Each structure stands twice: as C-alpha cells, then as structure tokens.
Amino acid sequence: MLLAAEGLVCGYGAADEILHGAALTVRSGEMVAIIGPNGAGKSTLLKAVAGMIRLKSGTIRLNGTAVERISARERARLGIAFVPQEANIFPSMTVSENLEMGGFLEPSATRRRVSALFERFPILAEKKRTTARTLSGGQRQVLAMAMALMVAPTLLLLDEPSAGLAPLAAGQLFSAIASIHREGTAIAMVEQNALAALALADRGLVLVDGRPVREGEARAMAADPEVRRLFLGQQDLPLAGGSAPGPTPHRSTAIATRPPDPSGPGPHPLI
Amino acid sequence: MSFLQALVNGALAGAVLALPALGFNTVYAVLRFPNFAIASIATAGAYAGWIANVLWGWPAPPALLVAFVAAGAVGATTDALALRPLRLRGPLTAAIGSVALDLLLQNALRFGFGNDPRGYDLPVFRDWRLAGISIGPQEVEDAGLAFITMTALFLLLRFTRIGKTMRAVADNASLAESKGIDPARVAWIANGVGFGLAGIGGTLVALDTSLDPLTGFRVLLSIFAAAVVGGLGSIPGAIAGAFMIGIGEELSTLALAPTYRTAIGFLAILVVLSFRPRGLLGERAY
Ligand SMILES: Nc1ncnc2c1ncn2[C@@H]1O[C@H](COP(=O)(O)OP(=O)(O)OP(=O)(O)O)[C@@H](O)[C@H]1O
Ligand SMILES: [Mg+2]
C-alpha cells in the first residue's frame, strides 16, 4: 500500500471538526477519485494527507512509514506532490519561475522537465515569461498541475483540477492526467465532475460530512444507483425541474473526455 | 534654497533612504509583519561600519560590507530568538514585540558606545557647484553606493535560486513549503539580507548626519512612510516611496521650518492609507 490514511480527525479551529474518521488508501500506481458534495471535507482530506493541516487523531502511512507528525515539506521530500484547489501558484512570479519552484526539490532535473512540460502543455511555453497572476483561471490550473510534475512524485494529490475549465480544456487536462497515471504515478483526485473522474480512476471514494460513505472499484461505483442518485441530486437538482427521466441535454456537453460506459442500468445519461 | 537644490538634495537623500525601506519591505514580504526593530538594527550596522572605518582604518566600501554583515546578523538572530515565537500569535503581536526589541537594542548600543556622537574618518571634499546648485561629493558617493546595493538586491531576487525562493515564500508561504522550501531557512535569509540593507542604509545616514544611539530611530518614520507609500512588502514600491519621501521632506523645508520635515512622512502615511491602502505599487491591501 502506497498511502494508508485512517481514522483522520481534524478541523480548522480548536473546536471544529471537519473530518470525522476519514480514510484514504492508494496503492502504488493507482488512481483514486474522491467525490462528495460541497463542504464534505474533500479538500480538507487532501490537505491532511499533504501535511497542510494538523491532525487531532488518525494515522497516515506512506510506504509503511508513519508521516502524520512530519511537516508538509518533509512529506514533499518523501514524494507527495499536492495541487491545492486554490492559491496553487505563485502569482507574482513568471510561469517559468513557478515551474522552477515546483521543482525545488529536484533542481538538476529542472531544465529537462520544463521542456517536457512545455511540450505537453504548449500554453505554458507560450506564456513562459508571463506573470502567473495574469493567467486565466484555466491556464492557472494547468500551471499548478505542471508545477507538481516538476518533481517525479510517488503520489500526486489533485484538488479539482478541472475547476473553471472550459469543456475542451477540461478534456485535455483529464487526458493529461490519464497519461500521467498510465506512466505509473499514483494519483488521488478530488473532482466535482464525479462521473468523469470515475471514468479515469481505478477506484472511487465517496466522502460525505467528513466520513467515507462508500469505497470501491470506480466502474462499479459509476454504475451504482445510490451514487448516481447522490450525484444527480447534487448536480442536477436546480435544473431537473421534474421527475421525467431521460436525457438532460444541458449536461451532454459538460465534459469532452472519455465518456464512461456504465454497464449497469442508469436512467440518466450524465455525460 | 532653490527648488532645484531641494529636489537634488531630496533625490540624494531618497537614494539612501531606499536601502532601509527596501530592508523593511523585504522582511515584511517574507515574514508578514512590520519589524520596527529595523531602526536600532540600522544603528547597530552604523556602529559596525564605524568600528571598521575608524578603529580598523578601512575605507567606506568595505566598512559598509561590515555594516551589512553585522546588521544582518543582529536582525536575523534577534528575530529568531525573540520574535519567532511571537509571530505564531499573529502579525500584531510580532510588531509590538519588535518595538520592544528596538528599545532593547537601542539601550544596548547606548550601554556599549555611550550617548556622544561619533564621527567617521573620511576625507572631506568641497562641494561641487553646478548651475547654481551645490552638491556634496560624499552625498553623491552615498547615493552611488545605495544604487549599487539596490542593483545587487534586484539581481539576487530576480536571478538566483535563493532569491526566487524568497519571492515564492512572500507570494504563498504554505504552497512554498509544500514544494519543499524551508520557510524557517528563508526567514533567516530574508532577515539577513533585509537588515543587512538597513545596516548599509544606517551607515550612510550616519555619514550624512551623526552617529549616536538614535541615528536609526530618527529616520524610522521616514523609512516606514516610504514602505507604506510604496506598498508594504513591495520591492519597487520601497524605492519609489523612498524617493517620494526624500524629495517631499526636502521640498517641505522650502516652506516650513526644518523641524516640521518629519511631518511629511506622517502626512504621506495618512494620505496613502486613506485613499490607497495598498500603496502605490503594493499588491494587496492590509
Ligand atoms: N480555511 C478554513 N478555515 C475554516 N473552515 C474551513 C476552511 N476550509 C474549509 N473549511 C470548512 O471545512 C468544511 C469542509 O471544507 P472542504 O474545503 O474540505 O470541502 P470540500 O469537500 O473540498 O468542498 P468543495 O467541493 O466545495 O471544494 C467546510 O464546512 C468549510 O466551511
Ligand atoms: Mg474542495
């Protein structure tokens, strides 16, 4: 087991508790999709694993070593690369400088990895001398992920990489994530676009109110009527306007990436 | 005094003021609190420069290097010992602690060197006269040295790995840490560089006025005003602010008695905080 986090309890103040016994396991080379409603604690879970937030209790093992007491910096040294949902770039620095800082721990590889990333994400090459503050939201997301790839992480933690991206750009980012995964990097990814995430992932984890409520093989989870109900309720409620089953055309263009092929029954084509 | 003369004097004074203002903003940008101990740390640097110049007989440029190293060491060490625990309780606590630290250092200097003003051992030149304006060669040399120091800081921040990590921590400390950058180490370096600049600035101010335990304290309001006007934490802002305050103070002497010149810094802070709290070139409001 690459990552085994169990019984995580933590919050932001002395009194509040956001995670009440959350758990996350990732095998080496595996990709886990973490889904759940807004405020469920998905970002908090990733922050806890990355070391950005202090645990009240729980254990986090990386390759068998307990890491819950060591700093975010030392966890980065052990191969955890974290891409936060927000504030995930250095705004006053150029795109190139951001990448260089992303590769702080492996400076000798900077040159080689920057040119590989420029090839993978041409927009970054085009904007390399641009101050990151002036990038569009989508360009920032691409930069943030590229910064994490400036090291060779053993575990990549992605918090909503597709947030704010146009469908085409989200599709491109997802296919980049898929190829990073194919190259053997273990990934834990939080995504609002639950079914797109499950389509890419090996396993899924549903987090509600700081607790894991379901965990399993991604394909089965995408077909699970309970999960579908949960996310239909969450994603389509304002627009569903009735009980009529059938295609919901406004969703059909939501994402332009490998549509899942749910083998189980499902009344709503979500993607 | 003519307007042009005041302008020239102000620009020369601004160049010198820019160094401690840069130091103040460098420290602010990385550690995120105003460290008012900069006044006495600048004075400490001026005494170190005095020791090198008068007791050891060194010329100005290496004496300034001594001032840089001494002030940087005092600033970084006192921060780590006294202010680091306070920082955890928030920037206001650290700022208040820095005022106390300033008084402590000031009295330590008084204990060590006494209250009597000291003079540097430098050749005295006659002022140059140019189109009715008189310019002191010493002031021009000071401004030149200040300019060289500023260029060195710019190159450090722009092109070196350590400079870039300082900017990264200033931008987003927790992201920097998650990339493997050690914030405590960067804090040491930022303090060393920032207070080192203040030490050079303090020596240049002392060369221009006099050296006693209050040398730095007398320019603290001007330093703080330059930093606030330019934008707290902004490097180009510190330079712009220093020139504005330097020139503003000199121009004020055309209309007001010289005792009122310190009011310029206060006025500038008041105006900027009322209308543009983030300063001329600052990126965020506080
Ligand atoms: N920095 C913070 N300080 C205080 N409370 C916070 C902070 N960040 C998050 N919270 C609280 O923690 C809870 C969980 O937040 P979290 O960001 O982990 O949710 P999430 O599942 O990632 O939601 P989303 O899908 O909206 O990103 C929320 O109730 C939120 O109000
Ligand atoms: Mg979140």
- The predicted-structure confidence for B56-94, as pLDDT tens digits, reads as follows 999 999 999 999 999 999 999 999 999 999 999 999 999
Q: What is the 3-state secondary structure (H, E, C) of B78-121?
A: HHHHHHHHHHCCCHHHHHHHHHHHHHHHHHHHHHHHCCCCECCC
Q: Who wins on pLDDT, A94 or B276?
A: A94
Percent of chain B topping pLDDT 90 = 80
Q: Who wins on pLDDT, B277 or A44?
A: A44
Q: Which residues of A touch B161 (CB under 8 A)?
A: 100, 107
> What mean pLDDT is reported for chain B?
93
DSSP annotation of B56 reads: S
Query: Each residue of B27-41: pLDDT tens digit?
Result: 999 999 999 999 999
Interface test with B, best of A90, A110, A149 (most B CBs within 10 A): A90
Residue B13 has pLDDT above 70, yes or no: yes
Give the 3-state secondary structure of residue A14.
coil
Q: Structural domain boundaries of chain B?
A: 19-216
The token pair at A138 is 């989508």
Q: How far apart are CA B235 and CA B229, in angstroms?
A: 12
- Per-residue pLDDT at A232: 52
Residue B195 has pLDDT above 60, yes or no: yes
The b-or-e profile of B248-282 (16+ CB within 10 A means b, else e) is bbbbbbeeeeeeebbebbeebbeebeeeeebbbbb
Interface test with A, best of B88, B177, B179, B182 (most A CBs within 10 A): B179
Give the distance (Å) from ligand 1 centre to CA of residue A51. Answer: 16
Amino acid at B133: I
Measured by CA distance, the residue closest to atom 17 of ligand 1 is: A43
- Per-residue pLDDT at B284: 58
Q: Who wins on pLDDT, B205 or A243?
A: B205
- A90/B171 Cβ within 8 A: yes
Query: Each residue of B122-134: pLDDT tens digit?
Result: 887 788 888 788 8
Query: Each residue of A143-190: pLDDT tens digit?
Result: 999 999 999 999 999 999 998 888 888 888 999 999 999 999 999 999
The whole-angstrom distance between residue A91's C-alpha and the CA centroid of its chain comes to 21
Mean pLDDT across B230-254? 94
Distance of residue A159 Cα from the nearest chain B Cα, in angstroms: 14
Give the distance (Å) from ligand 2 centre to CA of residue A191. Answer: 8
In chain A, the residue whose alpha carbon lies closest to the alpha carbon of B168 is A90
* Closest among B184, B225, B174 to B79, alpha carbons compared: B184
Who's near B116: CB < 8 A, 6+ residues apart? B212
- A71/B165 Cβ within 8 A: no
Distance of residue A86 Cα from the nearest chain B Cα, in angstroms: 10
- B170/A92 Cβ within 8 A: yes
- A88/B168 Cβ within 8 A: no
- B164/A100 Cβ within 8 A: yes
- Per-residue pLDDT at A269: 34
Query: Going by DSSP bridges, is the β-strand pair A57-62/A203-208 parallel, antiparallel, or unpaired?
Result: unpaired
Q: Which residues of A touch B184 (CB under 8 A)?
A: none
The answer to whether B42 and B216 are in contact (CB under 8 A) is: yes
Ligand 1 pocket by Cβ (under 6 Å)? A 12, 18, 36, 38-44, 85
Query: Each residue of B177-193: pLDDT tens digit?
Result: 999 999 999 999 999 99
Q: Would you call A109 an interface residue with chain B, using a CB distance cutoff of 8 Å?
A: no
Mean pLDDT in consecutive groups of 10 residues from the start of chain A, 271 residues: 94 88 95 94 96 94 95 96 95 96 96 96 95 92 95 96 88 92 96 90 94 90 82 47 40 38 36 32
**Residue spans of alpha helices (H) in A186-259:** 194-200, 218-223, 225-240
Q: Would you call A100 an interface residue with chain B, using a CB distance cutoff of 8 Å?
A: yes
Residue B200 has pLDDT above 50, yes or no: yes
Report the alpha-carbon angle B104-B107-B113, nearest 5.
Answer: 140
- A52/B178 Cβ within 8 A: yes
Measured by CA distance, the residue closest to atom 31 of ligand 1 is: A39
Residue B241 has pLDDT above 90, yes or no: yes
Q: Would you call A107 an interface residue with chain B, using a CB distance cutoff of 8 Å?
A: yes
- A72/B167 Cβ within 8 A: no
Measured by CA distance, the residue closest to atom 28 of ligand 1 is: A39
The answer to whether A9 and A21 are in contact (CB under 8 A) is: yes
Q: What is the ipTM of this complex?
A: 0.88
Check: pTM over 0.95? Answer yes or no. no
Q: Which residues of B touch A52 (CB under 8 A)?
A: 174, 178
- Per-residue pLDDT at A15: 79
The dihedral region occupied by A65, where left means phi > 0, alpha psi between -120 and 50, and beta the remainder, is: beta
